[in-house]
Amino acid sequence: MSELERNGKFSYRIKFVVLAAAFVAVFFGSFIFGRYAVGFTDLVKILANRLPFVKIEQTWTDAAETVAINVRMPRIIAAAVIGAALSTAGASYQGMFRNPMVSPDILGASTGAGFGAAIGILMGFNYVGITISSFGLGLAAVFLAYVISRASRLNGTLSMVLAGIMVSSLFSAGTSFIKLIADTQNQLPAITYWLMGSLNSIKGSDALFVSVVVAVGLIPLILLKWRINLLTVSEDEAKSLGINTGRLRFVVIICATLVTAAAVSVSGMIGWVGLVIPHFCRLLFGYDYRRIIPSSILLGGAFMMVVDNLARTVTTGELPLGVLTAFVGAPVFVWLILRGGASDEN
C-alpha cells in the first residue's frame, strides 16, 4: 500500500471518528435541549440509574426524570432512527439508479404511506391503527410499482422510475380526494399536519417499532454496501464480476422500502433528508458506498435530531419537520441543479 493510500484511509477514519462523536454529542445534548431544563449532571445520573446493577441516590426531581425518560428519550431515539433510515434509503436508491437526484420516495413509498395515514384518520383509527395503515400502504405502493415495472417492455431501471412516478401520482390523488371529503373541523387539519411530518406524538412503543423495522432493513444494506458500488457501473461490467444485478436491485428495493415506509408511518412525510444527506456524505467521504452507507446513518441521524430539537423549541408551538428540512433541502437542490447534478458515474 502506498503512502498516499495509507494517508487517505487514515483521513477517512478520522472523519468517521469525528462524525460518530458528533452523533453521540447531539444524541445526549438533545436530552438537555428543551423548554424544561434538565442539567447534564442530572441527565447522567438519570440514565446511569436505569442501567442494571446501578443504584444512585436520587438528587434530581421526578419531573426531570419524567421529561428525560418518558418524553424526550422516545422522541430522540425515533429522530435518530428515522434520519438514519431516510438518508440510507436515499443513498441506496441513488446508487441503484445511478442518479444522485433520486430520493427515497422515488418508488412511491412516502405517498403510499401518506395515503394510508389519511385513510386511517378518515376512518377514525387510533394512533397505532394509523401507523399500521400507513406502513402497509407504503409497502403496497412500492410493490405495485415493482410489479408494473416487471411487466413493462421498457428498460428495467427506466420502467421502475416511470412506474414509481405513476404510483406516486395515483396515491397523491387519493390523498387529495380524502382531504376533500374529510371533516374540515377535525380530520382535515389532522391529515394536513401529519403530511407535514412531526414527532410530537411519539411514544416508547413507536420508537421500538421503528427501531426494530429499520434495523431489519438497514443491516442487509450495511452488509451489501460494497456491492452497491457495482450497481453504479454498467450491467456488463457488473455481470462480468459475477454479480446478479437483478437480484441485488430487488434486495436493495426491499430493504430501502422497508426502512422508508417504517420511518414515514411514524413521523409523517419528511422530505429532503434522503436527497441531501447522501450528498454531504459524498463531499466528506467520496463515492465509495462502503463509506457512504455508514456515514449516511450517522449524519442522517444527527441531522434529524438537530431538526427535531429546533422544531420543538424555535416557537411557542411546534414546527412541522417537513418545513424545517425544506429550508435546508431546497437550497441544496438548487446548488445541485446549478452544478449540473453530476452522477455517481463521474
Average pLDDT score over residue span 230-248: 76
pLDDT at res. 6: 60
- For residue range 256-289, list pLDDT tens digits in order: 999 999 999 999 999 889 988 998 899 889 889 9
Of all helices (H) and strands (E), which one includes residue 244? none
Instruction: Name the residue among 88, 21, 14, 15 with its Cα closest to residue 278.
Output: 88
**pLDDT tens readout for residues 211-238:** 999 999 999 999 998 888 888 777 777 7
Does residue 239 surpass a pLDDT of 90?
A: no
Q: How far is CA 256 from the centre of its chain?
A: 9
Which amino acid appears at position 35 of this protein? R
Contact predicate 231/303, CB 8 Å: no
- Structural domain boundaries enclosing 251: 72-338
Residue 53 domain-assigned (yes or no): no
Residue 12 maps to a domain = no
Q: What is the pLDDT of residue 340?
A: 56
**pLDDT at residue number 346:** 40
SS3 content of the chain, % helix, strand, coil (to 5): 75, 0, 25
Give the Cα separation of 75 and 31 in Å (integer). 10
Structural domain includes residue 188: yes
Extract the C-alpha cell encoding 151: 411487466
* Predicted model pTM: 0.90
215 is a domain residue: yes
Report pLDDT digits (tens) over 105-157. Answer: 889 999 999 999 999 999 999 989 999 999 999 999 999 999 998 887 776 67
Give yes or no for residue 1 having a pLDDT over 70: no
Question: Would residue 334 count as lying in a domain?
Answer: yes
Q: Which residue has the cell 382535515?
A: 188
Instruction: Answer whether residue 211 is part of any domain.
Output: yes
Q: Residue 316: inside a domain, yes or no?
A: yes
* Domains contained in the chain, number: 1
Residues of the chain with pLDDT > 90, as a percent, come to 58
- Phi and psi, residue 118, nearest 5°: -60, -40
Nearest C-alpha neighbor of 174 from the set 99, 104, 93, 111: 111
Scanning the structure block, which residue is given the C-alpha cell 449532571? 41
Q: Residue 3's pLDDT is what? A: 56
Q: Which residue has the cell 431544563?
A: 37
End-to-end CA gap in the chain: 25
CATH number of domain containing 316: 1.10.3470.10
**Identity at 266, one-letter amino acid code:** V
| Residue 269 included in any domain | yes
Element (H, E) at 228: helix 225-231
